[in-house]
Structure 1
Amino acid sequence: MRIAQVAPLYESVPPKLYGGTERVISYLTEELVRQGHKVTLFASGDSVTKARLISSCPNSLRLDKDCKDTLAHHIFMLEQVYKHASEFDIIHFHIDYIHFPLFRRSNTPHLSTLHGRLDIKDIFPLYKEFREVPLVSISNAQRKPLQGVNWVGTVYHGLPKDLYKFKARHGKYLAFLGRISPEKRPDRAIKIAQVVGMPLKIAAKVDKADKEYFETVIRPLLKNPYVEFIGEISEKEKNDFLGNAYALLFPIDWPEPFGLVMIEALACGTPVIAWRCGSVPEVIKDGINGFIVDSLKQAVKAVKEVRKLSRKNCRKTFEARFTASRMANDYLCIYEKLLREREPLLKAV
């Protein structure tokens, strides 16, 4: 199959540091190539892939100090995709809705995976207007706010099976990995560590938008003797960081669309303690590969119960449900379904 993958340009594919969406696109692209498909990746020029790479900017935009207008680069990329559209059997977009007006008028089948939150009133009229566009959610919880659109499937994220090595022994510290922001609630993680008296290691980036929150709310809490702030870490550092942890804390306070860090932890064999928000109940099986909680009190109790969980079961959950090969196969089923539905239309022309 001739497949185009269209990525955001803010991070490279895969990203150098933080970047969940771009990391997933990389895993999907490389798995499709491995399975023998002819894949073209539209992404920043510093991306690394075995697919054909077409770039509209030399470097990813988040770390490019010379970039002042990110939209310009994305518009240029869309023109490139449109010019090449006839070369593909299907085009798979990962850039929200910016391509909708142009590709409504394209003859090439396409679909869009939505990677962000959808409980934003501003987007409702837009999706109502483009209700025919085939959409894929990354959890069933993610799609709940957006009704009356063309959902064609839910595909959970996946990681290469051998990306993370299983660590059989429980570590001695709690881990928080991702991004410092109010909705991720690192303050909750710090409070949990303080109450249970266990070290907490925080590996997280601080975006410009969250710098004030970090300085005013989180930095004062880092004086806590139980807390070690590491900062943003690379993909290579994650295995040891997560695998050597006692448990991953995922104390979110927002409708998380998926939460890639949860399956990264499970791949290492590390249980997850997560708040009951968004996709969490679809990823974590309470009492099997972690605990789902609704309060600080429950989270503290869960920390004390983690040792009873089997780290082998955590890894088994990952292998059964969250590998890149499973993700790619799910998408291929959707691609084939969309192409079959298009055949009668082509014959009628």
Structure 2
Amino acid sequence: MRIAIVAPSVWYRIAPPHESKYGGAEKIVYWLCEKLVEWGHDVTLFATGDSKTSAKLVPTYPCSVLGQDNNNNNNKNNGQNGKNSISWDDITDNLLSLRKALEVEEKFEVIHSHVYCDPLVTSSLNGSGVHVLSTIHNSMSAKDMGWGNIMLYKYAKNRKHHRFVAISKSQTIHDDAGLPYKDIVHNGIDLSSYKTKKRLKRKNDTLLCLSRIDPHKGIEYAIDAAEKSGMKLIIAGRKHPGKEEEFFKDRIEPRLQKGVVEYAGEVSDKEKVKLLNVTAGVIFPSLWREPFGLVPIEAGACSSPLVAFECGAIPEIVINGKTGFSVQPRNKDGKLNIKELVQAIKRIDEIEPKDCLDHIKNKFTADRMVEKYLNIYKELENRKISL
């Protein structure tokens, strides 16, 4: 098939995971392109010029805004039209990739968009019959997106030739736009990127919190739970400039203590795998209804158990008591349920490492994900479904 894949944004390039430290959706797009090319399809990727892919690359921006090493302080992109930077709130440049794909839509049988707010430009489909498939990577709640963006999707939900895919059941339930999802495709990962030595079941006194430094991610609660359970904690993750850096300085940094609670900074995939193999498990106490975070399945790919609040897609990923523990975030009084989180941590050694890995192999591989997308592509093309 002739397939166009459109990258999520100009912020990060599409590249092998070991070459980039950040970008969950970007990893998904990379693996999607690689597998489709490997399986003999004619794939064109619309992304930044510094992207690396086996697909044909159509550069839609000279270089990723955050530079090849995804470092805020190494912005190699002077931008277009003389711009030196792009506001996080400005999605105009992110839509350029999809716009370029739509300009040559007749070359493709399917255009698969991963762009935020893509209905802004899909109205320009020129009637060639090509279908646009949009994977929604973000939360579709008005609280997260704002009612303006929700209304944008509401107007587009019945648009001919535009089909929407969710990445979790939770995402479809908490969708204020009421998108007519026909498919749910869970994210999948390439297990070869997480090669590890055989993990032995053993006692360990250190937990790992892999997370962007954001108030919604529950990092403070991870510290609380680790302290109350007598465990050490390593925090690893990116902090974006602005609010996230302020949150880190105000709420996280004062609680750091060498050998007790440590911050490892943003880590590469290689460093991440190493941390997953030297810690007892991953703590993921996010209170945000995350559509589908990669951390829970990356942990499982390294045979590492997960302890998490039961929010977002967690019930779809964790088999409670077998691959980890999911805890109700609040007790009957409405208070944060740190106590049950601590109890779960104390039981983490009950989890068999092999069960964690087997679960990922059975449900969350890149092959499985790409096969599902390919079936949707074929359905759209062969049956000429009117959307």
TM-score normalised by length of structure 2: 0.84
Deviations 1:16-63 (A, max 9, x none): 211111111111111111111111111111111111111122221134
Contact 2:95 2:121 in 1 (8 A): no
Measure, in 2, the Cα distance between the counterparts of 1:231 and 1:148. 38
Match of 2:157 among 126, 131, 136: 131
Measure, in 2, the Cα distance between the counterparts of 1:343 and 1:195. 55
**Aligned-partner residue type, residue 80 of structure 1:** K
- Greater shift, 236-245 or 100-109, is seen at 100-109
**Secondary structure of 1:163's match?**
helix
- Alignment match, 2:14: 13
Deviations 1:51-106 (A, max 9, x none): 11111222211342644236453344333212321111100000122354345523
- Alignment match, 1:235: 269
The answer on 1:190 being equivalent to 2:223 is yes
- Alignment match, 1:329: 371
- Alignment match, 1:298: 340
Contact 1:197 1:226 in 2 (8 A): no
Measure, in 2, the Cα distance between the counterparts of 1:343 and 1:309. 45
- Greater shift, 67-76 or 27-36, is seen at 67-76
Note closer, same or farther for the CA distance 1:343–1:155 as it changes in structure 2 (3 Å cut).
Answer: closer
- Alignment match, 1:95: 115
Measure, in 1, the Cα distance between the counterparts of 2:25 and 2:260. 31
**Aligned-partner residue type, residue 255 of structure 2:** L
- Alignment match, 1:177: 210
1:211 Cα deviation after fit: 1.4
Measure, in 1, the Cα distance between the counterparts of 2:109 and 2:195. 36
Measure, in 1, the Cα distance between the counterparts of 2:30 and 2:246. 32
Contact 1:78 1:99 in 2 (8 A): no
Measure, in 1, the Cα distance between the counterparts of 2:321 and 2:386. 48
The answer on 1:45 being equivalent to 2:49 is yes
- Alignment match, 1:199: 232
Match of 2:138 among 101, 116, 131: 116
**Secondary structure of 1:277's match?**
coil
Measure, in 1, the Cα distance between the counterparts of 2:56 and 2:253. 43
Measure, in 2, the Cα distance between the counterparts of 1:341 and 1:163. 36
Q: How does 1:279-318 map to 2 (within 5 A)?
A: 279-294=313-328, 295-318=337-360
The alignment-based identity, stated in percent, is 35
Structure with higher helix content: 1
**Secondary structure of 1:223's match?**
coil
CA root-mean-square deviation: 1.9
Task: In structure 1, list runs of 5 or more residues that go unmatched.
Answer: none
The answer on 1:319 being equivalent to 2:372 is no
- Greater shift, 69-78 or 225-234, is seen at 69-78
**How many residues of Structure 1 are paired with residues of Structure 2 in the alignment?**
345
Contact 2:98 2:113 in 1 (8 A): no
1:168 Cα deviation after fit: 1.5
The answer on 1:156 being equivalent to 2:186 is yes
Measure, in 1, the Cα distance between the counterparts of 2:97 and 2:280. 43
Measure, in 2, the Cα distance between the counterparts of 1:271 and 1:72. 40
Note closer, same or farther for the CA distance 1:72–1:135 as it changes in structure 2 (3 Å cut).
Answer: closer
Note closer, same or farther for the CA distance 1:201–1:88 as it changes in structure 2 (3 Å cut).
Answer: same
Contact 2:46 2:101 in 1 (8 A): yes
- Alignment match, 1:254: 288
**Secondary structure of 1:200's match?**
strand
**Aligned-partner residue type, residue 342 of structure 2:** V
Measure, in 1, the Cα distance between the counterparts of 2:120 and 2:111. 12
- Alignment match, 2:99: 79
Measure, in 2, the Cα distance between the counterparts of 1:99 and 1:42. 17
Contact 1:116 1:257 in 2 (8 A): yes
Measure, in 2, the Cα distance between the counterparts of 1:343 and 1:303. 49
**Aligned-partner residue type, residue 42 of structure 2:** K
Contact 2:322 2:355 in 1 (8 A): yes
- Greater shift, 177-186 or 98-107, is seen at 98-107
Contact 2:95 2:115 in 1 (8 A): no
Instruction: Give 4+ residue runs of structure 1 displaced > 6 Å after superposition.
Output: none
Measure, in 1, the Cα distance between the counterparts of 2:371 and 2:95. 30
Deviations 1:106-159 (A, max 9, x none): 332111001011111413321111012311111010121325422121100111
TM-score normalised by length of structure 1: 0.93
Note closer, same or farther for the CA distance 1:342–1:303 as it changes in structure 2 (3 Å cut).
Answer: same
- Alignment match, 1:143: 172
- Greater shift, 112-121 or 263-272, is seen at 112-121
